[in-house]
Structure 1
Amino acid sequence: MRERRVGRPAGPRDSSAPVEGTFATSTGQAAWVPEHDGSWTLYVNGVPSSPVRVGDPAALDFEYLQWMADVIRLVLPPTAEGPLRAVHLGGGACALPRHLATVRRAEGQQLRQVVVELDAELATRVREWVDLPRSPELRIQTGDARGGLAARRDASADLVVRDVFSGDSTPRHVSTREFLAEVDRVLAHGGLYVANAVDRTSPVGLKAEVATLRAVFGHAAAAIEPGVLRGRRHGNAVLLGSRSPLPVAALTRVLGAGAAPARLLHGEALEAYAAGAPVLADPLPAVPTT
């Protein structure tokens, strides 16, 4: 789910384009909408979810996806020593997994990606209409994001991406300290957690999400558009967490120089941003009465 998008020149097209119109899914309905520049946007239950450029899988037209791609490239640079193992919580049209598969393949690195998507019918339609990589480069599993994460082995992923929305809001159960502890368990040493959050629609508050991130990860940061940070507009924020130090100088430079610049908060600035916000926790289990 995104607030705004950044256009790019149209890429090549082929016969595997999505079919314009609305279709029923397991959780409601979705629609493929063609854009004026030749790209497509997938809407899920009325909310823009994923950009697609047919024949140009490396393109990312949503600004927060561009930020995520830059962060992943800088924190987890390509290597020939082994595949990049990624778990994506939330699928949509799999724009980021599709991008990663394309660029890493071109750079000589293999990928092993798993996408956990709640909506089974949506996953089927996306496989039919989008030129996605096949297994083992990209596998789509249907189920709840947190349940899919719990099924992963310890230290089995280099990257965990959270891009989960119910309507236009992030569900609370993928925002809590206990959820992030599961992410930390699944990440290997040096692994990276990246999450998409929208300040306007966060039911718990973006500052509470940041406070919870800082409570679990020793190294945390947030990429936020300056206008959003100053309260002048609403938009996406990309949250980063790791056990290992983040390349703060490189991240600050690259994120601040893109077509949609973002400011990177870290250290004391991130602490000040989240000051006074609560750390989110799972509800306590009900106590049986006698």
Structure 2
Amino acid sequence: MPPTPSPGRAPRSAQLRRCDQSAWIVQDEVVGGWVLQIGGVEQSHVDLADPTHIAHEYLRRMANVLDEVWPRGRPIRIAHLGAGALTLARYVQATRPGSAQLVIEIERELPTLVTTALPLPAGTDLEVVIGDAREELAAMGSRRFDAIVLDVFSGEASPAHLATQDFYREALGHLEADGLLLINVGDDAGQRFLTRQVRELEDASAAEGLTGVWTLTHASLLTRPADGNMVLLAGGALSSPGVEAWRAAWKREGPHPAAVLDPAETLEAFEEIGRKPLR
């Protein structure tokens, strides 16, 4: 059995100096497991007994994407730009032992809090780099990954220098030819920030000679806009002849009701939201 967090053995909170917010690890009294809160807001959920149990919908969709794009059990090289309580990193280790994982986190105190209070699965190969995601990725030169996960966006409060075509091109440039960029975008009911990100990522993909942007989300967000998260995908992996089979699996696996939009459907959906062409 994995070790259980204990207030007597590991700190349960830390003051994050960069954002000047308190981070806490607290028990989830509803579904079990543990929750990372920052500034009183839930950021991540971790089930130490079963790292394949993912409570947050957008992370479950990302996990489903990884499950289909690479053969089950095969180790991958994956970078997490912002990783919260390392929920997806735990999932990758549990489902693909031996994967080489990198985390870039701007809050120096957060990885220490998370890994001491919520120990990682045995054997996890995780490199932690403290710093700005764009700067640290650029400093890695020609280093490439099978997958890069970007999980730092929260509507208009998102880091502006990461929400650009230029940064997306830089990130795509750190992928293998058959690699994949997965982006979580949280936004309010207007979805204006999300619409801009679709446009920026579409332009970056076109500039790199790649197919367009795929979208995975809760189906209701496309018809009744509300606060929520959507997952955007880009990269050479999406040129695979197996992409339609992946699409069927992503929709089947949910969470439900699930929507999976190909590039043409993504542009159509967000042109209507933004009321202007994205091309």
TM norm structure 2: 0.83
Kindly state the Cα deviation for residue 40 of structure 1 after the two structures are TM-superposed. 1.3
Structure (1 or 2) with the greater helix fraction: 2
Contact 2:105 2:131 in 1 (8 A): yes
Give the deviation of 1:187 after TM superposition. 0.6
| Secondary structure of 1:213 counterpart | helix
1:13, CA displacement in angstroms? 6.6
Secondary structure in 2 aligned to 1:16?
coil
Residue from 66, 91, 96 that aligns with 1:72:
66
Counterpart among 16, 25, 29 of residue 16 in structure 2: 25
Q: Please, which moves more after superposition, 91-100 or 237-246?
A: 237-246
Is the 2:72–2:96 contact (alpha carbons within 8 Å) kept by the matching residues of 1? Answer: yes
2:268 corresponds, among 250, 269, 272, to: 272
Aligned pair partner of 1:49 in 14, 18, 43: 43
Decide whether the 8 Å contact of 2:154 with 2:186 is kept in 1: no
Return the alpha-carbon distance in structure 2 between the equivalents of residues 241 and 272 of structure 1: 17
Task: Pick the aligned partner of 1:115 from 85, 95, 103.
Answer: 103
In the alignment, the residues of structure 1 paired with residue 44 and residue 277 of structure 2 have an alpha-carbon distance, to the nearest angstrom, of 31
Q: Is the 8 A contact 2:26 2:36 kept in 1?
A: yes
Corresponding residue of 1:230: 223
Instruction: Tell me the equivalent position of 1:178.
Output: 166
Question: Equivalent residue of 1:223, what SS?
Answer: strand
Counterparts of 2:166 and 2:26 in 1: how far apart (Å)? 37
Give the match for residue 211 of structure 1. Answer: 199
Q: Report the residue type matching 1:132 in the other structure.
A: L
1:135–1:183 distance in 2 versus 1, CA, 3 Å? farther
Following TM superposition, by how much is the alpha carbon of 1:255 offset from its aligned partner in structure 2, in angstroms?
2.7
Provide the TM-score with structure 1 as the length reference. 0.80
Alpha-carbon distance in structure 1 between the residues aligned to 2:203 and 2:73? 31
User: Would you say the 8 A contact 2:146–2:175 is kept in 1?
Assistant: yes
The answer to whether residue 4 in structure 2 is matched with residue 15 in structure 1 is: yes
* Structure 1 residues 142 and 135: CA distance shift in structure 2, 3 A: farther
Change (3 A) 1:165 1:184: closer
The structure 2 residue matched to 1:90, chosen from 58, 82, 87, is: 82
Asked if the contact 1:111/1:137 (under 8 Å) is kept, the reply is yes
Kindly tell me the number of residue pairs found equivalent between the two proteins. 262
Q: List per-residue Cα deviations over 1:31-84 (Å, max 9, x = no partner).
A: 22311232111012233211111232222111111100011111223465xx41
Aligned CA-pair RMSD: 2.7
* SS in structure 2 at match of 1:250: helix
